[in-house]
Amino acid sequence: MPKIRLDKLVKRYGSLEVIHGIDLTTEDNEFTVLVGPSGCGKSTTLRMIAGLETVSGGEIYIDERPVSKLEPKDRDIAMVFQDYALYPHMNVAKNMSFALRLEKRPRKEIQHKVGEVAEMLGLEKLLDRKPAELSGGQRQRVAMGRALTRDASTFLFDEPLSNLDAKLRGQMRAELALMSQQVQKSMVYVTHDQVEAMTLGQRIVVMQDGHIRQQGTAEELFKRPNSRFVAGFIGSPPMNFLDGQITRRGDVAFIEGEGFKLSLPVELAQRALKHPRDTVALGVRPSDLVPAEAGSSDALLLKVLVSEYIGAQSILLTECGPHKVSVEMNSSAPVALGQPLHCSVQKDGMHLFDSETGLSI
Partner 1 sequence: MNGRRLTPYLFMAPAAFILGVALLYPIAYMIYASFLDWNPSQRIGQAEFVGLRNYTWLLGDASFRESLGVTLKFAFFVVSLEMLIGVGLALLLDRSIRGMTALRTIFILPMMIAPIVVGLIWRYMYHPTVGIFNKTLNAIGVESVPWLSDSFWALTSIIIADVWQWTPFIFILSLAALQSLPRSALEAARIDGATGWQQIWHIKLPLMMPVLIVTCLLRLIDAFKVLEVVLVMTNGGPGLSTEILSLRISRTASEFRELGVAAAMSNYLLLMLMLLTVLMFVYSRVSEARAARIRQAAEES
Q: By C-beta, is 152 or 343 nearer to partner 1? A: 152
Q: At its nearest, how many Å lie between partner 1 and the CB of residue 218? A: 29
* Closer of 71 and 251 to partner 1 (Cβ): 71
- Closer to partner 1 by Cβ: residue 73 or 271: 73
Give, in order, the Cα–Cα distances in Å from 211 to each of 21, 52, 290.
8, 20, 35
Identify which of residues 86 and 187 has a Cβ nearer to partner 1 in the complex: 86
Interface with partner 1 (CB under 8 A), residue from 24, 48, 62, 99 = 99
Nearer to partner 1, 129 or 223 (CB): 129
- Which amino acid belongs to residue 275? H
CB of 95 to partner 1, least distance (A): 9
The least CB distance from residue 166 to partner 1, in Å, is 20
DSSP 20-73: EEEEEEEETT-EEEEE-STTSSHHHHHHHHHTSS--SEEEEEETTEE-TTS-GG
Pinpoint the alpha helices (H) of the chain: 42-50, 92-102, 107-121, 136-150, 166-183, 194-200, 218-223, 228-233, 266-274
86 vs 255 by CB, closer to partner 1 = 86
Task: Work out whether 13 is an interface residue with partner 1 (CB under 8 A).
Answer: no
Of 5, 130, 224, 342, the residue at the interface with partner 1 (CB under 8 A) is 130
Work out which of 25, 81, 199, 307 binds partner 1, going by CB under 8 A.
81
The strands making up 203-208's β-sheet, listed across from edge to edge, are 77-80, 154-158, 186-191, 31-35, 203-208, 211-216
Taking the least distance from each CB to partner 1, the nearer of 47 and 192 is: 47
- Answer for which of 1, 16, 102, 312 binds partner 1 (CB under 8 A) is 102
- Three-state DSSP at 126 gives helix
Least distance to partner 1, CB of residue 83, Å: 5
- Can you tell me the distance from the alpha carbon of 238 to that of 188, in angstroms, rounded to the nearest whole number? 25
> Which has the closest alpha carbon to 149: 97, 102, 111, 73?
97
d(CA 133, CA 136): 10
Q: Which is nearer to partner 1, 61 or 81 (CB)?
A: 81
User: For the CA atoms of 284, 288, 293, 297, what is the dihedral angle to 10 degrees?
Assistant: -30
Burial profile 39-58: b = 16 or more Cβ within 10 angstroms, e = fewer: ebbbbbbbbbbbbebebeeb
CB closer to partner 1, 65 vs 105 = 105
Least CB distance to partner 1 at residue 104 (A) = 11
Query: Helix (H) and strand (E) counts for the chain?
Result: 9, 20
Site mask for partner 1 (CB under 8 A), range 133-172, x = bound: xxx--x-------x---x----------------------
Q: How far is the CB of 275 from partner 1 (least distance, A)?
A: 48
Q: How far is the CB of 102 from partner 1 (least distance, A)?
A: 5
For residues 321 and 336, give the distance between their C-alpha atoms in angstroms, rounded to a whole number. Answer: 19
Minimum distance between the CB of residue 38 and partner 1, rounded to whole angstroms?
18
Member of 89, 112, 271, 277 binding partner 1 (CB under 8 A) = 89
Residues 41 to 80 in contact with partner 1, rule: CB under 8 A: 50-52, 71-73, 77-79
Other CB atoms within a 10 A radius of the CB of residue 357 amount to 11
Q: Is the peptide bond before 237 cis (omega within 30 degrees of 0)?
A: yes
Site of interaction with partner 1 (CB under 8 A): 50-52, 71-73, 77-79, 81-89, 98-99, 102-103, 129-130, 132-135, 138, 146, 150
